[in-house]
Chain A
Amino acid sequence: MENALEARDIIKYFHDPVSFQVIKKISFEIKKGEFVSIIGKSGCGKSTLLYILSTMDTEYEGALLIDGELMKNKTERELARVRNKKIGFVFQFHYLLNEFTVLKNVMLPGMKLAERPLDEIEQMAFEKLKILGMEKHVLKKPNQLSGGEKQRVAIARALINNPLIIMADEPTGNLDKRNSETVLEIFSRLANEFHQTLLIVTHDNEFASRTHRIIEMEDGKIISPLHL
């Protein structure tokens, strides 16, 4: 199967306050349709790696290929376009815009991509929210939702442009057990039912055990690429 994402010898240093190497020559690939989790001790560089893979951090050595395309030498605008079209994000915090309704929040990346007419984007946003069981809340403002509901809207927003890959950094970090379970079920369903490629950074070993593959990191290196 084709690679959705490929990292080759990624190296990253931080220089402030002292120079040290956070990511130490990491190489791996994620095939289309794979459901991958990254685990590891706090401070081992998981988030740092994810920001590099997401094209938001451009200060690294090595090569990153998304959908077979090299990300080096792309301009800021080109990278923004790659994120818009091919990557969906879910963070620990929901980052919804309180000025807009739930529906509009989901539509925004679609409107930015502007590959479809507005009514079609609206229709799609509604469907994505429906998959996440949020269709009753479309006209609410984000500050009228519970924490778990906000996170589900954030997942719908990540889905709007049918991205090649969804990346998530501790998406359940702020949620209680029940809500975490819901989000986890959503991700499993996206992977198994819709064959959505997913890369999830998590602390939750139980969560990780339900993914197709676990990448375990330690001190900036991958120590166990287990296939489950």
Chain B
Amino acid sequence: MNIRLIAEIARSLLLARFKQTLVAAIGVTFSITMFITLLSFMTGLNNMLDSLIVNRTPHIRLYNEIRPSAEQPVNQYESFKGMHHFIHSIKPKKDLANIRNSLAIMHSLKQDKRVMGIAPKLSEQVFYTVGTVDLTGVINGIDPEEESRLFFFHDYVTTGNTADLKNTPNSIILGKGAAEKMMVEPGDVITVTTVKGNKMQLKVVGFFQSGLADFDKVNSYTSIATAQKMMGEASDYITDIQVKLYDINLAPAVAKEYSLIYGTEALDIQTANAQFETGTFIRTLISYTVGITLLIVAGFGIYNILNMMIYEKMDSIAIMKATGFSGRDVKMIFIGIALSIGLFGGSAGLAFGYGLSSIIDLIPFRTQALPTITTYPVNYNPKFYLIGIVFSLITTYLSGFFPAKKASRIDPVIIIRGK
């Protein structure tokens, strides 16, 4: 084929109008740069915000809602079988918070191939007693190792060490907010009172900072054994089983299944954090919209320059057609010009986009809420670069298509007659 000849002609036409083509290419470069930078930055932010919730939230949480038992005593009364019962003033039962048979359930969960890991938890309302003041709080008894492995607990422990929960008996890691309210330092001992009235002395071994200030004002962590001891419960008393799956997308289906098998509530992460997905989606949508809008503007630039070029090169097109170039050859020449503007402009855009995201990546960004973050988050997903170059080629192709078609239809007789 005469691809080489066509490429050569396209190149000379392009170089003859170098300044204009450069301006058109810069338009593409600019839009691709912005596209890459925006997407990298936005998805970096998305991932960061997601990790704030998603990393720390179990994919499925098994727990019992505190509510009246479905089986009321009157149902068991032989004489009233098959009748309608009107029962007033039903009250929920306390011990329902406990997951019955928790050891067996955990054992069977560990056998499930979809499950990456599980971490039991015991959450309980307490009062932190400081002098004469009682502050309300929540103590979470956890397995520090599993909690760290699955939910990155250690990332949020800013002072002290997660292992201390296991190594130091009767120890507690306080939320930063709670600790500030109580004005305690690591090494201090605080008194915790349970709702039932049990008192216990706990040694502060560290602070954590989750990024959610309200959460940190109330919550604290102990080992699960300490929590059970404090509440005077047996070693199988737990209120939550937190499950992490290999594939987060399976969570809703698996949650439904577990709820049936184990007879507990099972809440999946998607249901629990629906608003988060929406935020992520909107931010991504904005980035794409801005990028594509810029590209369309650049596309008009290319459309303009090609139209101008064709207008200027009418004679050349006419003589090429007279001397044996077909309409298709002419079309390919102009589409070739458009695509090379797209390719060079787009590639430069990728490079600049990478550069700009790297610069953003260096800008310090420290926030109380996110102890692990020191600079602005940037996501260098190669997917964006691929989409960027494909987009720029598609837009330039489309903007070159109509001028090229016009050029291919030029009737040499009309041009030659016009001279």
Contacts and interface: CB of A to CB of B under 8 A. Distances in A.
Contact of B327 (A56, A76, A84): A76
Given A77-B328, A81-B324, A51 B315 contact: no
Given A76-B326, A83-B323, A57 B413 contact: yes
Nearest to A114: B2
A107 to B, nearest CB: 10
A95 B418 CA distance: 13
A31 to B, nearest CB: 24
B154 interface: no
A157 B9 CA distance: 16
Contacts of A77: 326-328
Contact of B324 (A47, A84, A93, A100): A84
A91 B419 contact: yes
A177 B417 CA distance: 24
A109 B326 contact: no
B321 A111 contact: no
A139 interface: no
Contacts of A224: none
Given A57-B413, A112-B2, A83 B328 contact: no
Given A56-B322, A109-B324, A114-B2, 8 more contacts: A51-B416, A57-B413, A80-B326, A84-B325, A93-B416, A95-B318, A112-B323, A112-B324
Interface string B268-294: 000000000000000000000000000
Contact of A108 (B321, B323, B419): B323
18 contacts: A47-B417, A54-B322, A56-B321, A56-B413, A80-B326, A80-B329, A89-B319, A93-B315, A93-B416, A95-B316, A97-B12, A97-B316, A99-B12, A99-B15, A108-B5, A108-B9, A108-B320, A109-B324
A97 B326 contact: no
B45 interface: no
Interface in A92-107: 92-93, 95-100
B323 A109 contact: yes
Contacts of A114: 2, 5
Contacts of B2: 111-112, 114
Interface string B307-339: 000000001101111111111110000000000
Q: How large is the interface on A (under 10, 10 to 19, 20 to 34, 35 or more residues)?
A: 20 to 34
B49 interface: no
B419 A100 contact: no
Contacts of A169: 416
Contacts of A112: 2, 5, 323-325, 329
A119 to B, nearest CB: 14
A46 interface: no
Interface in A60-78: 76-77
A85 interface: yes
A117 B417 CA distance: 35
Interface of A: 47, 51, 54, 56-57, 76-77, 80-81, 83-85, 89, 91-93, 95-100, 108-109, 111-114, 157, 169
B contacts with A: majority SS? helix
A112 B8 CA distance: 12
Interface of B: 2, 5, 9, 12-13, 15-16, 315-316, 318-329, 411-413, 416-417, 419
B310 to A, nearest CB: 14
Interface centre among B318, B322, B326 (most CB of A within 10 A): B322
A180 B85 CA distance: 120
B404 to A, nearest CB: 15
Interface centre among B319, B323, B412 (most CB of A within 10 A): B323
A108 B320 CA distance: 9
A83 B322 contact: yes
A201 B411 CA distance: 21
A91 B319 CA distance: 10
Nearest to A158: B323
A92 B419 contact: yes
A40 to B, nearest CB: 17
B99 to A, nearest CB: 78
A111 B5 contact: yes
